[in-house]
Amino acid sequence: MTTQFEPVIGLEIHVQLASKTKLFCSCPNGVGDETKPNTAICPRCTGQPGVLPVLTEGAVELAVKAGLALGCQVNEYSTFSRKHYFYPDLPKGYQITQYDKPINGAGSIEITFGPKENLQKKNIGIHHAHLEEDASKSSHFDGYSLIDFNRSGCPLLEIVSMPDLRSPDEAYAYLTEIKRLMKWVDASNCDMEKGELRVDVNVSLRPVGQEKFGTRCEIKNLNSFKAVKDALHYEITRQTELLNAGGHVVQETRLWDKEKNITRPMRSKEDALDYRYFPEPDLPPLVLKHDWLERVKVQMPELPAQKEAKFMAAGLNAYDAGVLTSSLDIARYFEEVTANKAISVKTASNWIQTDLLGMLNAEKKEIAQSPISAPVLAEILEMVESGKITRRQGREVFDKIWANGGSPKAIVEASGMVQVSDEGQLEAWAQEAIAAAPKAVADYKKGNKAAIGALVGAVMRKSKGKANPALLSKTLARLLDK
Ligand code: ADP
Ligand code: MG
Ligand code: ZN
């Protein structure tokens, strides 16, 4: 008999903080350009004998902002420790990290997952989030290796979740939310191609109904959301088969082989003891001054959850509110457009999601680089909402400005775009269309109401898209139902 198992998942995420300098020296942070190896280095971040670390304020501030976004208890008192291991990319032989007293204590975030029509929400606990320095980067070639120290000493925030996730989809949603929050408060750019967000996945199984957790494996250093999902699926299947065959999961660290789509054992799990953690003697405890902390808190933007709630109160559904808060820039754009009360939130939401984000995605642009600013879109939408121009004409104006710039009102005037709402004119066009399409008329009279579409289309072509669609449909129906 096979047992039903439930996965238990916890993630450790490293995000590179977007501060100007490294964590313990004034070298520039984030010089990842492979054509410029070892250009952003100094005696401190290359671990020369006799140098001392000096904590930089920028990274601390971003760590606090990140902690506040994660709902963490920010600790006014935290400390640094040394974590020892030997590797050529770690010249000091230890990494400076936070161990027993991290800057951010427990917190929690809400994730959203499941199908669009039936979104589910769940709270996931954050165990803590601590500061640490990054190691350098080695590249291995045939017979030799090269080391680039540009990354050495760059500031990382390690965000450790509680084992609250129960499926690969929940893990994916958690990652999405962490990335949204970190970018929202400008703590990190989270560019995964540049290695600015790296994930270690912990996963175990337990029989459904059992409270006690099973033995876990840790899969290290995943650098895409897809790899996280794929590795979890693989590992859940592997552990299920192992347990059902009467075997035991060995606690170990595994690697994801993305060519073969499998995980492979790397080493047996190391213990805290193996790292010989001890307090960093060269750094005093990090004490956040109360006034400083208050200043950082005051500068925090409204968080996505609050914005989503506001947007839903204004009439959007959960899915639309989620899309329009996928970044702070998008949310602000939406707010700017809907500040014009002549525009409904639904209209603004449709245009931003379909037209604006559609074009931006197609051209791989961020909203900050949009050729159509929020006031310009608002001007177009105001004309559409008031019936001055049709939606289709609105889109034409949008496309013209996208390509060549200009003002919506001027374009509408210059191209003679107006919507025809004149009853007499609409009726004349309608009668012409009815006379030209006896088959559609007969179908309609037999009860096929959709046949009216052909007549609407004919008038639209005749009027070059200028006929007011709502009034036209009414006029046609009136004439046909006579
Ligand atoms: P370590 O210090 O060895 O890395 P932690 O106890 O700090 O271990 O946990 C690391 C991560 O593993 C956390 O995200 C936690 O939620 C997760 N985790 C702990 N126990 C389990 C388990 N039995 N199954 C799955 N994940 C777990
Ligand atoms: Mg770990
Ligand atoms: Zn340096």
Average pLDDT, the chain: 95
- What is the pTM for the complete model shown? 0.89
CB within 8 Å of 291: residues ≥ 6 apart: none
- DSSP H or E segment with residue 218: strand 217-222
Q: Where are the alpha helices (DSSP H) in 153-221?
A: 168-184
Torsion of CA 73, 74, 75, 81, to 10 degrees: 110
Which residue in 132, 139, 134, 156 sits closest to 41, CA to CA?
134
For a mutational test of ligand 1's pocket, the pick from 99, 160, 203, i.e. the residue with the most ligand atoms closer than 8 A to its C-beta, is 160
Q: Whose CA is nearest to atom 2 of ligand 1?
A: 272
Concatenating the DSSP letter of every residue in 253-301 gives: EEEEETTTTEEEEEEEPPPGGGGT-EE-TTS--EE--HHHHHHHHHTPP
- The per-residue pLDDT for 182 is 98
CA of 188 to the centre of ligand 3 (A): 20
CA of 141 to the centre of ligand 3 (A): 26
Atom number in ligand 1 closest to CA 204: 24
Which residue in 9, 13, 11 sits closest to 216, CA to CA?
9
The whole-angstrom separation of Cα 238 and Cα 11 is 19
CB 116 within 8 Å of CB 174? no
The whole-angstrom separation of Cα 144 and Cα 150 is 19
Q: Whose CA is nearest to atom 7 of ligand 1?
A: 160
Is 244's pLDDT higher than 90?
A: yes
CB 37 within 8 Å of CB 148? yes
Which bound ligand lies closest to the C-alpha atom of 154?
3
Residue 368: phi, psi to the nearest 5? -65, -25
- The per-residue pLDDT for 482 is 81
CA of 461 to the centre of ligand 1 (A): 64
- The per-residue pLDDT for 269 is 67
Mean pLDDT of 99-105: 97
Is 3's pLDDT higher than 90?
A: no
Which residue in 111, 210, 215, 128 sits closest to 165, CA to CA?
111
Q: Which of 73-87, 306-320, 336-350, 439-453 has the lowest mean pLDDT?
A: 439-453
Question: In angstroms, what CA-CA distances link 29 with 16, 59, 63, 181?
Answer: 9, 10, 15, 21
Residues 276-316 pLDDT 10s: 999 999 999 999 999 999 999 999 999 999 999 999 999 99
More confident residue, 226 or 482: 226
Q: Whose CA is nearest to atom 24 of ligand 1?
A: 204
CA of 249 to the centre of ligand 1 (A): 15
Q: Encoding tokens for residue 295? A: 């200043």
Is 176's pLDDT higher than 90?
A: yes
CA of 9 to the centre of ligand 1 (A): 8
- The per-residue pLDDT for 272 is 67
CA of 202 to the centre of ligand 1 (A): 6
Q: Where are the alpha helices (DSSP H) in 70-142?
A: none
The whole-angstrom separation of Cα 211 and Cα 30 is 43
Band of residue 222 on the pLDDT scale cut at 50, 70, 90:
very high
| Amino acid at position 392, single letter | R
| Amino acid at position 368, single letter | A
The whole-angstrom separation of Cα 205 and Cα 7 is 5
Residue 262: phi, psi to the nearest 5? -135, 165
Residues 63-85 pLDDT 10s: 999 999 999 999 999 999 999 99
Residue 23 per-residue DSSP state: S
Work out whether strand 137-141 and strand 81-84 pair parallel, antiparallel, or are unpaired.
unpaired
Concatenating the DSSP letter of every residue in 368-407 gives: GG-SS-HHHHHHHHHHHHTTSS-HHHHHHHHHHHHHH---
Is 1's pLDDT higher than 70?
A: no
* Measured distance between the N- and C-terminal CA atoms of the chain, rounded to whole angstroms: 72
Mean pLDDT of 433-445: 93
Residue 150 per-residue DSSP state: G
CB within 8 Å of 235: residues ≥ 6 apart: 201, 203, 217, 219, 254, 263
CB 280 within 8 Å of CB 251? no
For residue 380, how many other CB atoms are within 10 A of its CB? 26
- List pocket residues of ligand 1, CB cut-off 6 Å: 8-12, 160-163, 202-204, 213, 216
Long-range contacts of 306-314 (CB under 8 A, 24+ apart): 307/331, 311/345, 314/338, 314/345
Q: Whose CA is nearest to atom 17 of ligand 1?
A: 10
Q: Where are the alpha helices (DSSP H) in 74-194?
A: 168-184
Q: Is 308 exposed, middle or buried (0-12, 13-18, 19+ CB in 10 A)?
A: buried
